[in-house]
Amino acid sequence: MSEIETLSAFVEDAPPGELADVVADIKALTLSTPNVVSDLAPAFEKYNEEQFVTVKLPGSSQSVLISPHNSLGDGRYYDVESSSSFAVDHATQARRRKETMETFEVKRLTGRQKASAVQSHSIEGPQVELMHVSPAASLALRANAGHYGAYPIESDAKMAMIVVANRYSPNNFWNGRWRSLYTFDAASGSLEGTIKVDVHYYEDGNVRLLTKKPISTSVSSGTGAAIVKEISAMERKYQDEVNKSFVKLSEGTFRGLRRHLPVTRQKVEWDKVTSYRLGQDIGGGSSKR
């Protein structure tokens, strides 16, 4: 594996909200090749598309998604709701000076970075009406997930729907992202997709949760509102399953791994363990001589 391939793997595996840290580490490890970050532009593009990163349109508070399904090529993407296309310079965003997680990385990945070169862009086809979901359904998706997008695929025969939610808490040493990708077939009414959860906790160590849940169901009514209702129900169910797993893990496995305190209810000072008298100092009683 070449150097670029190795570094690209680091970029593509960056935890949510921590791409700037990964880039900073890459720069520190490759001081002899200062332009190596420029060569990682394809990796930054792949990361942003697969992670469903959001950006802001110039002069607007509206967030728009970046994904393979709304890519026009050459770093341009389109948005159905605003009927516009825009450009994203993936390499420039990644090369920006790292400030703090609060002022830079969170800002960039929550959509406060702006796109550029906005142009009018409209699409036509039988799925267009479905992609403009009802106001109630749109509000539900925004409230529950943060951002969503719907795009035609396979010559308008099917529709891709994306849902993404980001939660960053660097001051508490954790970041997380929920990603969902669904494919709706209007002819059969089938709805298939995958839910992915990625959470990283890194206080005095590293713990990372990566889950992948396949989804397969059908929608009786092929309206935008009906599709959103089905997606919301499935995602609530999966969130409940994840929460129950955490409770079981905390009360079962983690508790079993935790070292119990001795009868004195005090932690053992392991650097002094050789000086303990087993019966008296640890057991709390008097030792026999």
Whether 33 and 109 map to the same domain: the answer is: yes
What is the arithmetic mean of pLDDT over 40-52? 94
Number of folded domains that form the chain: 2
Residue 249, domain member (yes or no): yes
Cα-based distances in Å from 106 to 100, 101, 170, 176: 9, 6, 9, 11
Residue 286, domain member (yes or no): no
Q: Which one has a higher pLDDT value, 56 or 141?
A: 56
Q: How many CA atoms lie within 13 A of 31 on its CB side?
A: 1
Whether 169 and 116 map to the same domain: the answer is: no
Q: Which one has a higher pLDDT value, 155 or 248?
A: 248
Q: How far apart are CA 49 and CA 78, in angstroms?
A: 13
Q: Which one has a higher pLDDT value, 282 or 229?
A: 229
* pLDDT tens digits, 246-258: 888 777 766 666 6
* pLDDT tens digits, 183-238: 999 888 999 999 999 999 998 888 899 999 999 999 987 677 788 888 888 988 99
> Helix, strand, coil proportions of the chain in percent (round to 5)?
40, 30, 30
Residue 209, domain member (yes or no): yes
Report which secondary-structure segment, H or E, holds 244.
helix 224-248
Work out the angle at residue 237's Cα, subtended by the Cα atoms of residues 235 and 240, and round it to the nearest 5 degrees: 110
Q: Return the DSSP state at 32.
A: T
Whether 118 and 39 map to the same domain: the answer is: yes
Residue 276, domain member (yes or no): no
Residue 30, domain member (yes or no): yes
* pLDDT tens digits, 121-149: 988 766 666 666 655 555 555 555 578 88
Containing domain of residue 55, as a range? 1-122
